[in-house]
Amino acid sequence: VTLLEQNPRWRLVPRGQAVNLRCILKNSQYPWMSWYQQDLQKQLQWLFTLRSPGDKEVKSLPGADYLATRVTDTELRLQVANMSQGRTLYCTCSSGQGARDTQYFGPGTRLLVL
């Protein structure tokens, strides 16, 4: 059973250009949504957890700047800017407040820098 959809599934991003990603929740029983990045060395890093529509957060990490928005109960967005190296972005969902609840990963969006 598919819990999450992510689009696009991949994107070539010209250096200096921003890209917008979407994650759609298919099961309302898992309302806690998060973003993770996986770098080219396959290292995974938590970025954000957003529960309520209207929640926004920003973060700057080595290699990219991020803006995450919980748009609705079923849609989570991520803007990636100033990306210097490719990476894959995964959204996750869980049923409770995150702690101890299983997080289920979406299929991911792979970003490559031109």
Interacting residues toward other proteins by CB under 8 A? 32, 34, 36, 42-46, 49, 90, 94, 97-100, 102-108
Sheet with 4-7: list strands edge to edge. 4-7, 19-25, 75-81, 64-70, 56-61
- Shortest separation between residue 97's beta carbon and other proteins, angstroms: 5
How far is residue 78's CA from residue 7's CA, in Å, rounded to a whole number? 11
Residue 32 or 66 with smaller CB distance to other proteins? 32
- Shortest separation between residue 77's beta carbon and other proteins, angstroms: 17
Residue 16 or 59 with smaller CB distance to other proteins? 59
Residue 86 or 98 with smaller CB distance to other proteins? 98
Q: Which two tokens stand for residue 113?
A: 């820098």
User: CB–CB of 36/45 below 8 Å?
Assistant: yes
Number of other residues whose CB lies within 10 A of the CB of residue 22 = 15
- Shortest separation between residue 114's beta carbon and other proteins, angstroms: 21
Q: What is the DSSP letter of 102?
A: P
Residue 82 or 102 with smaller CB distance to other proteins? 102
